[in-house]
Amino acid sequence: MPAAAKNLPSASLGMISLVAALLLLDRLAPDACSGVNSFFFPSVEFVQRWMPLFYAPALAMLPAGAKSLQVMDGIKVVLLTVFSWAGTLTVTTLFTTLVRRYAKARLEEAPSGISLAPFSIWEAIPWLAIGAAGFILVYVSPTLLGSPARTLIPFLLSSTVVGFLLGSFLPGPVKRFLHPVITCAIFVNAAALFFSIATEKQFLSVLGSYITNNLKDPGAGDVLLAFVGPLAISYGFLLYRQRRIIVRHGIELASVVSVAGMVSVLITTYAGRALDLSSQLINSVAPSNVTFAFALPVGNLLQANPSLVVSCCVLTGILGANLSRPLLLKATKSDDPVVRGLSAACSSHGYGSASVAAGEPDLLPLCAVAYILMGTFCSLLCSVPALGRIISK
């Protein structure tokens, strides 16, 4: 375990430490703990409201990240992602149904999650102005801010934000297939293509300025990806808020999350080898059942392709949002919301959970706890050297 703690992504370790600190403070000084939560609430609300924006850059880089990917390998990656989702959903559903025979805690009303204000078209207008000004700036003087990547930040950052906002305005049924993170990626690539045509530069060269992975010369994507860590840490406040759910459904959560995490990773690993995929491609699919804030750090731990990691997570979410509820209702032949919620949360993270919990407000907090714990467990699982070697073998 010391080795696992050493390898554990810093954001996951930070979230675990935050929960422990809040629980300790709650016992020693409840009023102080309440004050801490109130102080950080605006920050937590901010990162939760803009959450998809922070991992969208990895998906936007897919044309560059997958340029060397063979067509057949791409098809295999899609098949592996679908198989991993279906296998995890099936095993988790069966196991949760079994556990619920012995742990029969009823779903009760829980503190609601953070109520996020809907986005307004007025929020997009300033970003459109920033984008227009940014384009003129970089067109006239490409290195005005010190380098092309830094000078492109206003233009490409505004493209990302506008793409996200317009995607959030889409009707619910459309968003099941066209998630705002996808519209972000489309807008960034369209902006990069437009700029490359206007300046007669190569498209991939412009897109490469979006994420440089260089702290001294960051691009717009680097700025947004810097929020992934704080996003994961902010889940600590959400877990603390829902601590009664963790106590009430502790048996189900501990057992189901553990089994789902192991099954998800192992199914992906061995099925990927059967498809004769490279270890990097298998590792890119391995965190696909985990929420994005944990999937990216796990992917980095496994030396996966971040663009493929996010792409596979998006595909898993789309599958879960459209198929989890009808499949679960048909398979379980029961009306146990806990089975539906845990199965969806552990197989298709928050995107699938939102669809399954639609119309059941008391189920959504349980789903949120489950997919946060699923991400934490998978982070810890992949941090264990022995298991990491099995996955990356």
Please give the Cα distance from 357 to 371 (Å, whole number). Answer: 13
In a domain, 114, yes or no: no
182 shares its domain with 234: no
Residues of the chain with pLDDT under 70: 1-6, 108-115, 329, 331-334, 357-360, 386, 388-393
Burial class of residue 321, CB neighbours in 10 A (0-12, 13-18, 19+): buried
pLDDT (0 to 100) of residue 254: 92
pLDDT (0 to 100) of residue 332: 64
136 shares its domain with 263: no
- Does residue 185 contact residue 153 with C-beta atoms inside 8 Å? no
In a domain, 217, yes or no: no
161 shares its domain with 243: no
Please give the Cα distance from 224 to 55 (Å, whole number). Answer: 7
In a domain, 387, yes or no: yes
The CA distances from residue 319 to 57, 81, 86, 180, in Å, are 22, 10, 9, 16
175 shares its domain with 277: no
237 shares its domain with 332: yes
176 shares its domain with 249: no
The one-letter code for the residue type at 199 is T
244 shares its domain with 368: yes
Per-residue pLDDT tens over the stretch 231-257: 899 999 999 988 888 888 889 999 999
125 shares its domain with 201: yes
Per-residue pLDDT tens over the stretch 153-199: 999 999 999 999 998 888 878 887 888 889 999 999 999 999 999 98
248 shares its domain with 348: yes
Please give the Cα distance from 62 to 163 (Å, whole number). Answer: 16
pLDDT (0 to 100) of residue 62: 87
Tell me the whole-structure pTM to 2 decimals: 0.88
368 shares its domain with 261: yes
In a domain, 22, yes or no: yes
Q: How many domains in the chain?
A: 2
- Does residue 237 contact residue 61 with C-beta atoms inside 8 Å? no
Please give the Cα distance from 220 to 228 (Å, whole number). Answer: 14
- Does residue 42 contact residue 49 with C-beta atoms inside 8 Å? no
Tokens of 119: 């986005």
The CA distances from residue 299 to 241, 254, 282, 291, 359, in Å, are 28, 23, 10, 12, 33
Please give the Cα distance from 358 to 334 (Å, whole number). Answer: 17
Q: Which of these three, 210, 238, 270, is where a domain ends?
A: 210
Q: How far apart, in Å, do the first and last CA atoms of the chain sit?
A: 21
In a domain, 100, yes or no: yes
In a domain, 75, yes or no: yes
190 shares its domain with 328: no
pLDDT (0 to 100) of residue 101: 85
> How many C-beta atoms surround the C-beta of residue 205 within 10 A?
13
Q: Which of these three, 177, 210, 243, is where a domain ends?
A: 210
265 shares its domain with 370: yes
In a domain, 88, yes or no: yes
- CA-wise closest residue to 323 among 295, 288, 348, 297: 348
In a domain, 297, yes or no: yes
Q: Which of these three, 210, 241, 262, is where a domain ends?
A: 210
The residues, ordered by sequence, that sit 6+ positions from 294 with a Cβ below 8 Å of its Cβ are: 9, 11, 12, 232, 287, 375, 376, 378, 379
- CA-wise closest residue to 44 among 201, 227, 246, 182: 227
Domain interval for residue 377: 2-50+70-105+230-392
The CA-based diameter of the chain, rounded to the nearest angstrom, is 69
The CA distances from residue 328 to 97, 295, 331, 335, 341, in Å, are 11, 24, 5, 10, 10
